[in-house]
């Protein structure tokens, strides 16, 4: 062995490290130390308020009098008897499921289209993502105008096409549809905005899933004689089921808990027809000052979310196998 070149080579084992130095090797210690701040923060800022919310719902606190007097399930009973609450609960499910069903179909089509290469793809991607990447409240503001009772561009188009504004028009003789003023149209509008906003996220997730299918499988199917539609429904979609479900669950979670779209678009109106659990909890608890009732309303969000979370967990484990 060539031991020349100056530097002393004979390697003795380095001296015993100091106690501190050894700490930097102690994996268990390091692991706990590194995760502690996160656990601490989440415990204090999420866990604690979460329990507090439950407590509030069982109390009679208001913003004026914030002391907790235990009143049992009275708030829940009040809340369940409230027709606005029942409408909110219904709406929450209705909006989420409708918009996500639409999103599922639309995002599938879009993902399939985006898998190919075409010119201007990067720009298209950016534009497609805008509804999701723009801040929620700001994007919704654009829709406020689109759905305005006087100036809506939709109405303008419909008028120009003769479907609106004339006595025998398909959509009625009035010059405008009250997108945000008429209860059923308002609900439709909220669903529309939710769909618009969640489409990019779902598309991106599905696209990732689509590209992870080994192309040999599809080639084998082609050799076996399967055409486009058969390949789609017999191979592509079944293979993407786990990731489609994940996209669906994410979408449901975000629409289920959303309050921004409703607040900016309709403030829950007209006459609470577009109220959802989150917005109603907000109006009751923050604007109305009734903390206890607001908390009770909000608590109803949780079982659904817990269910969704459990489902996502199961799926997460299953996709690992793939």
Question: Which residues in the 38-97 window bind other proteins by CB under 8 A?
Answer: 38-39, 41-42, 45-46, 48-50, 52-53, 55-56, 63, 66
- In angstroms, how far is CA 104 from the centroid of its own chain? 13
Q: Please tell me the total number of residues recorded for the chain in this structure.
A: 322
- The backbone region for 172, taken as left when phi is positive above 0, alpha when psi lies in -120 to 50, beta otherwise, is left
The answer to the question of residue 212 lying near other proteins (CB under 8 A) is: yes
The answer to the question of residue 210 lying near other proteins (CB under 8 A) is: no
Question: 303, 300, 321: which is closest to 311 by C-alpha?
Answer: 303
Which residues are CB-neighbours of 61 under 8 A, at least 6 positions away? 67, 68, 69, 291, 292
Question: 7, 45, 212, 247: which is closest to 132 by C-alpha?
Answer: 247
Q: How far apart are CA 251 and CA 255, in angstroms?
A: 6
The 3-state DSSP composition of the chain as helix, strand, coil percent (nearest 5) reads 70, 0, 30
Omega cis (within 30) before 227: no
Exactly one of 102, 125, 213, 231 binds other proteins (CB under 8 A); that residue is 125
Exactly one of 84, 106, 188, 218 binds other proteins (CB under 8 A); that residue is 106
Q: Which is nearer to other proteins, 132 or 273 (CB)?
A: 132
The answer to the question of residue 303 lying near other proteins (CB under 8 A) is: no
Question: 152, 161, 159, 237: which is closest to 192 by C-alpha?
Answer: 152
The answer to the question of residue 146 lying near other proteins (CB under 8 A) is: yes
The 167-206 site mask, x for binding other proteins (CB under 8 A), equals --------xx-------------------x--xx---xx-
DSSP SS3 for 70: strand
Shortest distance in whole angstroms from residue 16 CB to other proteins: 8
DSSP symbol at 12: P
Exactly one of 113, 161, 170, 241 binds other proteins (CB under 8 A); that residue is 113
- The backbone region for 164, taken as left when phi is positive above 0, alpha when psi lies in -120 to 50, beta otherwise, is beta
Shortest distance in whole angstroms from residue 189 CB to other proteins: 12
Residue in the structure block whose two tokens are 């708030």: 75
Q: How many residues bind other proteins (CB under 8 A)?
A: 116
- What are the tokens at 244? 């489609």
Exactly one of 80, 124, 217, 271 binds other proteins (CB under 8 A); that residue is 124
The answer to the question of residue 11 lying near other proteins (CB under 8 A) is: yes
The answer to the question of residue 301 lying near other proteins (CB under 8 A) is: yes
Quote the Cα angle for 50-52-56, to 5°. Answer: 120
Exactly one of 59, 103, 139, 248 binds other proteins (CB under 8 A); that residue is 139
DSSP symbol at 120: T
DSSP symbol at 116: S
Shortest distance in whole angstroms from residue 240 CB to other proteins: 13
Q: Per CB under 8 A, which region of 116-124, 182-190, 214-222, 232-240 contacts other proteins?
A: 116-124
The answer to the question of residue 214 lying near other proteins (CB under 8 A) is: no
Shortest distance in whole angstroms from residue 285 CB to other proteins: 5
Residues 235-294 that bind other proteins (CB under 8 A): 243, 246, 253, 256-257, 259-260, 263-264, 277-278, 281-282, 285-286, 291, 294
The answer to the question of residue 129 lying near other proteins (CB under 8 A) is: yes
The answer to the question of residue 208 lying near other proteins (CB under 8 A) is: yes
The answer to the question of residue 5 lying near other proteins (CB under 8 A) is: yes
Shortest distance in whole angstroms from residue 153 CB to other proteins: 4
């Amino acid at each position: 062995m060539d031991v020349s070149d100056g530097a002393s080579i004979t390697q003795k084992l380095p001296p015993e490290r100091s106690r501190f130095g050894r700490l930097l090797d102690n994996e268990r210690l390091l692991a706990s130390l590194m995760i502690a701040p996160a656990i601490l923060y989440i415990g204090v800022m999420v866990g604690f308020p979460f329990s507090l919310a439950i407590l509030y719902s069982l109390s009679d606190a208001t913003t004026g009098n914030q002391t907790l007097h235990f009143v049992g399930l009275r708030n829940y009973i009040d809340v369940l008897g409230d027709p606005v609450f029942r409408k909110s609960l219904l709406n929450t499910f209705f909006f989420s499921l409708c918009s996500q069903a639409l999103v599922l179909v639309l995002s599938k089509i879009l993902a399939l289209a985006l898998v190919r290469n075409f010119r201007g793809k990067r720009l298209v991607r950016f534009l497609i993502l805008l509804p999701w990447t723009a801040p929620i409240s700001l994007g919704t503001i654009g829709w406020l105008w689109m759905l305005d009772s006087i100036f809506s561009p939709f109405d303008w188009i419909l008028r120009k096409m003769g479907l609106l504004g004339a006595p025998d028009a398909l959509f009625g003789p009035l010059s405008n549809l009250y997108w945000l003023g008429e209860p059923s149209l308002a609900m439709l509008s909220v669903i529309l905005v939710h769909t618009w906003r969640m489409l990019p996220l779902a598309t991106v997730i599905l696209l990732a899933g689509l590209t992870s299918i080994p192309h040999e499988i599809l080639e084998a199917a082609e050799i076996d004689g399967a055409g486009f539609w058969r390949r789609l429904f017999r191979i592509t979609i079944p293979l993407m089921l786990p990731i489609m479900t994940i996209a669906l669950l994410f979408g449901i979670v975000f629409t289920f808990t959303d309050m921004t779209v409703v607040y900016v678009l309709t403030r829950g109106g007209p006459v609470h027809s577009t109220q959802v659990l989150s917005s109603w909890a907000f109006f009751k608890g923050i604007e109305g000052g009734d903390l206890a009732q607001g908390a009770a309303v909000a608590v109803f969000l949780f079982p659904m979310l817990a269910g969704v979370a459990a489902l996502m967990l199961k799926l997460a484990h299953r996709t690992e196998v793939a």
